[in-house]
Amino acid sequence: MASASLLKSSPVLDRSEFVKGQSLRQPSASIIRCHPASSSALTILAGSYADELVKTAKTVASPGRGILAMDESNATCGKRLASIGLENTEANRQAYRTLLVTAPGLGQYISGAILFEETLYQSTTDGKKMVDVLIEQNIVPGIKVDKGLVPLPGSNNESWCQGLDGLASRTAAYYQQGARFAKWRTVVSIPNGPSALAVKEAAWGLARYAAISQDNGLVPIVEPEILLDGEHGIDRTFEVALKVWAEVFYYLAENNALFEGILLKPSMVTPGAECKDKATPQQVSDYTLKLLKRRIPPAIPGIMFLSGGQSEVEATLNLNAMNQGPNPWHVSFSYARALQNTCLKTWAGRPENVKAAQEVLLVRAKANSLAQLGKYTGEGESEEAKKGMFVKGYVY
Active site residue ranges: 223, 265
Phi, then psi, of 229 in degrees rounded to 5: -55, 135
CB 305: neighbour CB atoms within 10 A?
25
- Contact, 190 vs 231, CB < 8 A? no
Element (H, E) at 136: helix 130-136
Q: How many CB atoms lie within 10 A of CB 278?
A: 12
Pairwise CA distance, residues 38 & 197, whole Å: 32
Exposure string for 191-220, b = 16+ CB within 10 A, e = fewer: ebbbbebbbebbbbbbbbbbbbbbbbbbbb
Confirm if 112 and 181 have CB atoms less than 8 A apart.
Answer: yes
In angstroms, the CA 374 to CA 387 distance is 22
Question: Residues 232, 190: contact at Cβ < 8 Å?
Answer: yes
Give dist(CA 14, CA 61) in Å, integer: 14
Helix axes 354-372, 312-322, angle to 10 degrees: 30
Give the integer Cα–Cα distance in Å for 309 and 149.
Answer: 18
Cα 337 to chain center, whole Å? 13
Amino acid, res. 18: F
